[in-house]
Copies of this chain bind each other. A is one copy, B any other.
Amino acid sequence: MKMTIGRFLIMRLQQMGIAHVFGVPGDFNLQLLEQFHEVEGIEFVGNCNELNASYAADGYARMNGVGALLTTYGVGDLSAVCGIAGACAEHVPVVFISGTPPLYAMEGRLRVHHSLAEGNFDNVRNCLKEFTVAFTRLTPYNAVEELDRTLLACWREKQPVYIQVPSNITYLEIDVPEHRLSLALPASDPERLESAAQRIAAMLAKAAHPVLLVDMDADRSAITSGLAALVKKCQMPYASFRTGKALLSEADPRFLGVFNGKASKPEVGEAVGHSDCLIATAPCYLEASPMVVPDGLPVESDVYIRGFSVTVQSEVYEGVTASELIARLLELVPPRTAATRPVVKPAALPAAIAGAALTHARLWPRMERFFRKNDIVIAENGTSAIAMTDVRLPEGASYIVQNIWGSIGYTLPALLGAQMAQPKRRSVLFIGDGSLQLTVQELSTILREKLKPIIFLINNSGYTIERYILGMHAKYNEIADWQYTKLPGVFAPDAKVLVASAGTEDELESVLAQADKADTACFIELRLDAFDAPQGLKSFGPVVAEMDYGPRGPQRKM
């Protein structure tokens, strides 16, 4: 059938399940925006800038399965590259569409605006190539095959792809196939699948202390529900990486806690370290980092499950699709009825003390009790992410953190994306003042879209995570002191927003009570001392300094 290239692109995005495309208009993509506007069921969400748009597309993809970003060539593409690299690092499938100069201008190497004006149209593509699993430049004679190839790479490999769409071809009609884009994952090689499953099942059957270690790829490979069934059938305890937090229930008695290398709670480190059958889903160890160091892991005997392969005791089985492997394992493993541990119910907290300055020691245990089933909890890098590590989330909760790439400011736009994907779930964000300043304008888009998240701004007057690494009292770790609570009124004067600020324990109780029953967006400043920090951060900082600066570094003089 005949269809314009623009319409074909949009149809394919819809077939992947994309209903919102984030981005910023520019002359090279306006003609695509016209076509988005004409199609029901897909919406362009304009962001304040492209970096924010890329973070929003990432947050959307994490909650929707896949996301999309639309920019204009050069200026837009390169403003978004940090967010795309983050999606690449964290295995988040984002379709990055760039409206480029017209094809004749690129083929003729003309000097155009939004380029270096020297006829080079390879440089932007070369840059994005480093952080995507596939990239293409559409033409009228390759659009069908290239688009399908690229989109399938994104879907299967769960990483971003980059698609250049020249501005002068999107209204050209081409022949497009009748069939939908097939999202089914490739089937496994039967012998490899059966051999691997049998071997793992045998290991599980004879193991005294099997443990499952869950990381983000369990989500990307769509095996979290299969794994939940497996741990139930085998009565297998499990831990998660920080990047895999809450993919399996944290309210389950079999949940051990978050495995955080040397910084793990003793019972978690011990259970993982002493397992005689450790099954891990493509764990992402950060080696040169105090966050996760795989000390004492019985690596030799591990089962490592990746999307399309599995390693069992050092033998790699290629061509084994994770979801098929888990399904087969579920058939093979005998049920166990081992005694399970009781769910650890958090102890009652001491009552809030009126007038007592709010502390991290108080805040985070209190927040654990604030969360509800099915909340989407988002923690910004730094203080919030470190504090949240050991906070248990309720049943059905999702957790978003950008722990590997670690770009501060990521979470505010990511919240926008996550809520657009799942508007009926409550979203709760924790973000520091230093991080908020990077991407603050996206609060405007959140309120313009009439979303109702609860945003906790942790105001500790600067980069407290950096302070604990180096420069405790240095000027470079200080930032301007904004009147944060006025921001919603500036960005959306007509929006109904619960705005509050709390600096004491009783004020916290009061704002939490209000937020808990609010049917509006909430923007809540929590004022904490610049030098207060969660215990995890206090121990994290000096270890990072030693790793980063070595034995002649300035941390030795502090």
Given known contacts A115-B89, A483-B489, is B34 in contact with A406 (CB within 8 Å)?
Answer: no
Residue of B nearest to A449 (CB): B480
Interface residue A453 (Cβ < 8 Å from any Cβ of B): no
Given known contacts A110-B287, A480-B448, is B89 in contact with A117 (CB within 8 Å)?
Answer: yes
Contact with B along A431-444 (1 / 0, CB 8 A): 00000011111001
* Complex CA–CA separation, A287 to B111 (angstroms): 5
Number of chain A interface residues as a range: 35 or more
Interface residue A469 (Cβ < 8 Å from any Cβ of B): yes
Residue of B nearest to A4 (CB): B552
CB-CB under 8 A from A117, the residues of chain B are 89, 284-286, 404
Residue of B nearest to A494 (CB): B481
Contact with B along A82-101 (1 / 0, CB 8 A): 10011011000000000001
Q: How far is the CB of A180 from chain B (nearest CB, A)?
A: 26
Contact A441 B448 (CB under 8 A): no
* Complex CA–CA separation, A104 to B550 (angstroms): 10
Query: Pick the contact of A27 from B169, B548, B554 — CB < 8 Å?
Result: B548
Interface residue A409 (Cβ < 8 Å from any Cβ of B): yes
Contact A406 B75 (CB under 8 A): yes
* Complex CA–CA separation, A75 to B410 (angstroms): 10
Interface residue A269 (Cβ < 8 Å from any Cβ of B): no
Interface residue A498 (Cβ < 8 Å from any Cβ of B): no
Interface residue A553 (Cβ < 8 Å from any Cβ of B): yes
Contact A550 B102 (CB under 8 A): yes
Interface residue A475 (Cβ < 8 Å from any Cβ of B): yes
Stretch at the interface among A41-49, A146-154, A197-205, A247-255: A41-49
Contact A101 B489 (CB under 8 A): no
Contact A28 B441 (CB under 8 A): no
Interface residue A171 (Cβ < 8 Å from any Cβ of B): yes
Residue of B nearest to A466 (CB): B25
Given known contacts A31-B548, A471-B30, is B116 in contact with A89 (CB within 8 Å)?
Answer: yes
Contact B114 A79 (CB under 8 A): no
Q: How far is the CB of A481 from chain B (nearest CB, A)?
A: 8
Interface residue A37 (Cβ < 8 Å from any Cβ of B): yes
* Complex CA–CA separation, A509 to B167 (angstroms): 43
Given known contacts A127-B130, A487-B490, is B549 in contact with A168 (CB within 8 Å)?
Answer: yes
* Complex CA–CA separation, A440 to B131 (angstroms): 28
* Complex CA–CA separation, A24 to B448 (angstroms): 29
What are 10 residue pairs bridging A and B, where the CB atoms are less than 8 Å apart in the complex?
A28-B548, A34-B554, A46-B479, A49-B409, A49-B438, A75-B405, A79-B407, A123-B130, A168-B548, A486-B490
* 5 closest residue pairs by CB, A with B: A123-B130, A168-B550, A78-B82, A75-B407, A110-B288
